[in-house]
Structure 1
């Protein structure tokens, strides 16, 4: 075998290895989420695909503004406005919001919800119980305990893409990014301890 043949063979082997290594590493890596954003949960598929309410659109805005662009969070946005928390949430840095969806609020009898929405102090206490003053990554949810802005703690448990907050509220779309927060959409409204 000539030196030229050895050089060609070596170059071919190196090229094959360069292709094989990333392919084999890709097979060993965790599967990427279909939408490429790192979000998870069944309700993520209902998030608009484009525009300000999409995952990409929400990532550009602070959390209260981003939520106002998501049709699944309209009741939460109404509550945040009534409590006067829009600027507080939009100006906070590196927070996590466990955001009840419209379906979560629909579980509350209408008369009870109307009373809470009319009582600014109680509403503020409930809403700030849904906010943690630090960014919580999905990996921290398996057995987490986090202090809320309300002052009490909430807990998270689960694995994979199945997590519960305080043992009852399921995360239905998790790891949604906004300009200043990580958001986990949940299927029940959390009540702070008395």
Structure 2
């Protein structure tokens, strides 16, 4: 009888220890299944391929973008639209920056027409800029008013985000002195 009580006590003690441990593991698994937190550093599948000439954290946004050869067409378009001073003069902006491949998705005639019409070019480019700093934590279900005046949306989770359901963020959370840059793979069109 004494052996049975001792054995029962040992089993009861084991259960009392195992149940909280199992519940803790279950809670950890449940938490792990939730979407991972948004990144605090640069993120995205294209960051490793995005060559950078220098550290851009102390540069205004246009100069920072110019440090990335893959953003040369965007920088050229911003200069052509006379937006450099406008963008560099704002304290905290977010730029959804189309890379050169995004511009190459346009036909030659579409791109030529856009670049020759300064007002339309300015409208398209300012649609890529939000007049506040957007953090990766704002991206999962974001809706923002652009400098152009229309709404732009972001969606996704972890390190996989899209803009307007069309453009992928290929490298995000790049810091400039007055901006956060998210490199995207399509040129966005403002609503007409």
TM-score range, shorter chain: 0.7 to 0.9
1:127 to 122, 125, 128: 125
Alignment-derived partner of residue 193 in structure 1:
191
Q: Which has the higher contact order (CA 8 A, sep 6+)?
A: 2
Do structure 1's residue 113 and structure 2's residue 111 form an aligned pair? Answer: yes
**Which structure 2 residue ranges, 5 or more long, are not aligned?**
1-31
Alignment map for 1:44-193 (pairs within 5 Å): 44-48=47-51, 51-52=53-54, 57-193=55-191
* TM-score, with structure 2 as normaliser: 0.78
Query: In the alignment, is the contact (CA less than 8 A) between 2:38 and 2:158 conserved in 1?
Result: no
Query: In the alignment, is the contact (CA less than 8 A) between 1:32 and 1:38 conserved in 2?
Result: no
Runs of 4+ in 1 over 6 A off after TM superposition: 30-33
**Which structure 1 residue ranges, 5 or more long, are not aligned?**
1-27
**Is the partner of 1:175 in helix, strand or coil?**
strand
Deviation string 1:143-186 (CA, Å, 9 cap, x unpaired) is 00000000001000000010110000000000000000000000
- Structure with higher Rg: it is 2
Distance in 2, matches of 1:58 and 1:105, equals: 23
**Is the partner of 1:155 in helix, strand or coil?**
strand
Alignment-derived partner of residue 44 in structure 2:
41
Q: Over aligned residues, Cα RMSD in angstroms? A: 1.8
Aligned residues: 158
